């Protein structure tokens, strides 16, 4: 079987490798999928991404298939249920942030026509294709992630620091940080 040359961060874990090969760095323009990544990234804050990936289907079930319209209207009984769900990260502030972020997400859709348009306008709708040779060159934040984070916080989003936003930019293909030797760069 042919061995693919991948970015070092995912090597050795089948779930990580699948995520790397099929999702990470591929442009996402669909609002529903963008919200899914935003929700997952907010729960990832302070944790490893593999922890979130392993719980992704639990999050999908707990948060109504990442339906931001439903999430925006969650009441206390649903919040209590989520805080008892051992399949997800049971952090009250992050659960409450998911709900308020869904509400802000819809306000942005109303203002810009879609969240995708708002988000991708920061890169003029194009992927920033970085030419990193090694993992050590990949930043945790950039001036652009700082700018997006600041704007999102101003609009009311929570758990959207620059590091979270840069990871989200990588996940949704706003930036392509696959290293040069990675098979996905070719």
Catalytic residue status for 49: yes
Out of 41, 118, 119, 120, which one is annotated catalytic? 41
Out of 16, 24, 49, 68, which one is annotated catalytic? 49
**Exposure class string for 9-43: b at 16+ Cβ within 10 A, else e:** ebeeeeebeebbbeebbeebeebeebbbbbbbbbb
Out of 9, 19, 29, 183, which one is annotated catalytic? 19
Catalytic residue status for 19: yes
Catalytic residue status for 41: yes
**Exposure class string for 133-149: b at 16+ Cβ within 10 A, else e:** eeeeebeeebebbeebb
CA distances from 38 to 12, 54, 172 (A): 26, 16, 9
Query: Which residues are identified as catalytic?
Result: 19, 41, 49
């Amino acid at each position: 079987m042919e061995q693919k040359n991948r970015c070092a961060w995912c090597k050795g874990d089948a779930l990580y490798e699948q995520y790397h090969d099929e999702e990470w760095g591929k442009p996402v323009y669909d609002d529903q999928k963008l919200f899914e990544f935003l929700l997952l990234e907010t729960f990832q804050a302070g944790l490893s991404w593999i922890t979130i990936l392993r719980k992704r289907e639990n999050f999908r079930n707990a948060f109504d298939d990442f339906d931001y319209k439903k999430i925006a209207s969650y009441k206390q009984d649903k919040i209590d249920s989520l805080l008892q769900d051992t399949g997800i990260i049971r952090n009250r502030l992050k659960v409450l942030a998911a709900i308020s972020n869904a509400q802000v997400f819809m306000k942005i859709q109303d203002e810009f026509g879609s969240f995708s348009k708002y988000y991708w306008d920061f890169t003029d709708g194009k992927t920033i294709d970085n030419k990193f040779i090694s993992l050590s060159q990949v930043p945790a934040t950039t001036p652009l992630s700082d700018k997006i984070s600041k704007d999102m916080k101003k609009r009311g989003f929570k758990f959207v620091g620059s590091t979270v936003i840069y990871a989200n930019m990588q996940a949704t293909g706003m930036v392509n940080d696959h290293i040069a030797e990675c098979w996905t760069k070719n």
